[in-house]
């Protein structure tokens, strides 16, 4: 058990604070929880990373007050925050955590004020996240030509490192040390740069595609698929919390989890709805908002086994359809962290600017 006394005040928020404030607090404290309290530090509610992600999926805006998030919790078990008196014994704490399937509990004093948080250190070991990463780096980067005429897209410099090295650094920082890179176009530049990964603090293996097999077809060639696979496109710049992603995946007992990003389109005209010749509604310059595939996945070995081994191109979207047809659990995980798909010249320029201006901030080891 671990006590977070030194972090306790950093966990406090109030009902009028915004959901974005809760995101900031959860990212900043080691307990990875936000506590909504009153003016006397009495507990009103608890907010976890999973609560934040579910609120995003429920189309609750990050600018909404925390009262909206707390009222939107759908599980009646957690409508009232789980807490314990500071005099509780450790066996009783463990039993309480097991009963409610939680990893931390606020402790209160005789006046019902929060004085500490207790929990397991992590759901997963600090030493290594129990996943194997697969980075898809075989694409031609056609839309980035002429930059990719003689350089594979994942090896284009972003800041002071190639994009692929930025990804490898993020994986290492997230305690993911087992990495497979799928290659095809100008693959020697990738293998020559990274070798076996020792100089980058990870273990790297390679899967070379003789011909493009699609985003899922290449994964089927990865050897020794006994563990959960974290699959990420080789043109993604992100500081997504992979540990939170894995926890969400495990909580839902999913075969496949898809990281998604909210995408909003501004319509520059008044949109007219009608029935026959009669106007029923008109909205002036509305926004259309939806979630898009962010190119990052968590897949169980049994899901990868469904990929056909006939040498034909097979994409992750086809695997998703196949899993849904067979009744398997496929979930989405919303990204609120930095994320950029570097597919076009404008995206590449933005990546450079974001790193230079510090907008893309990562916890890295130099």
Q: For the residues 343-353, what does the mean pLDDT come to?
A: 91
C-beta separation of 273 from 293 below 8 A: no
> Is the pLDDT score of 122 beyond 50?
no
Q: For the residues 142-154, what does the mean pLDDT come to?
A: 91
Q: What is the pLDDT of residue 4?
A: 64
Burial class (CB in 10 A: 0-12, 13-18, 19+), 71: exposed
Q: What is the pLDDT of residue 358?
A: 83
> Is the pLDDT score of 251 beyond 90?
no
Q: Find the length of the chain.
A: 366
> Is the pLDDT score of 54 beyond 60?
yes
Residue pLDDT, tens place only, 293-316 = 999 999 999 999 999 887 788 999
C-beta separation of 365 from 172 below 8 A: yes
Q: Percentage of residues in the chain with pLDDT exceeding 90? A: 52
Q: Percentage of residues in the chain with pLDDT exceeding 70? A: 93
Which domains does the chain show, CATH number per domain? 2-119 (3.10.580.10), 131-356 (3.90.550.10)
What is the spatial distance between Cα 164 and Cα 121, in angstroms, rounded to a whole number? Answer: 31
What is the spatial distance between Cα 307 and Cα 97, in angstroms, rounded to a whole number? Answer: 38
pTM attached to this predicted model: 0.84
């Amino acid at each position: 058990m671990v006590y977070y006394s030194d972090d306790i005040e950093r966990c406090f928020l109030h009902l009028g604070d915004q959901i974005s404030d809760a995101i900031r607090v959860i990212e900043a404290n080691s307990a990875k929880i936000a506590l909504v309290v009153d003016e006397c530090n009495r507990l009103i509610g608890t907010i976890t990373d999973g609560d934040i992600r579910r609120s995003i999926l429920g189309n609750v805006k990050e600018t909404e007050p925390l009262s909206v998030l707390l009222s939107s919790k759908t599980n009646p078990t957690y409508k009232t925050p789980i807490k314990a008196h500071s005099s509780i014994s450790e066996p009783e704490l463990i039993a309480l955590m097991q009963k409610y399937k939680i990893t931390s509990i606020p402790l209160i004093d005789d006046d019902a004020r929060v004085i500490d948080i207790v929990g397991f250190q992590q759901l997963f070991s600090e030493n290594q996240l129990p996943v194997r990463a697969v980075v898809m780096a075989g694409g031609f980067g056609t839309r980035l030509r002429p930059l990719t005429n003689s350089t594979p897209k994942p090896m284009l410099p972003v800041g002071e490192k190639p994009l692929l090295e930025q990804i490898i650094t993020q994986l290492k920082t997230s305690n993911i040390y087992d990495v497979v890179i799928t290659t095809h176009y100008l693959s020697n530049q990738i293998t020559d740069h990274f070798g076996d990964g020792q100089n980058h603090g990870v273990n790297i293996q390679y899967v070379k595609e003789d011909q493009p097999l699609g985003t899922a077809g290449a994964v089927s060639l990865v050897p020794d698929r006994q563990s959960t696979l974290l699959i990420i496109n080789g043109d993604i710049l992100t500081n997504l919390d992979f540990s939170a992603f894995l926890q969400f995946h495990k909580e839902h007992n999913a075969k496949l989890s898809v990281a998604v990003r909210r995408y909003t389109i501004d319509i520059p005209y008044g949109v007219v709805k009608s029935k026959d010749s009669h106007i029923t509604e008109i909205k002036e310059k509305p926004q259309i908002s939806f979630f898009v595939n962010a190119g990052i996945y968590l897949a169980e070995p049994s899901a990868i086994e469904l990929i056909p081994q006939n040498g034909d191109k097979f994409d992750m979207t086809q695997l998703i359809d196949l899993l849904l047809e067979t009744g398997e659990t496929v979930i989405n995980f919303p990204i609120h962290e930095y994320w950029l798909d570097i597919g076009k010249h404008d995206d590449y320029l933005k990546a450079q600017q974001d790193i230079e201006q510090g907008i893309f901030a990562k916890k890295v080891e130099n």
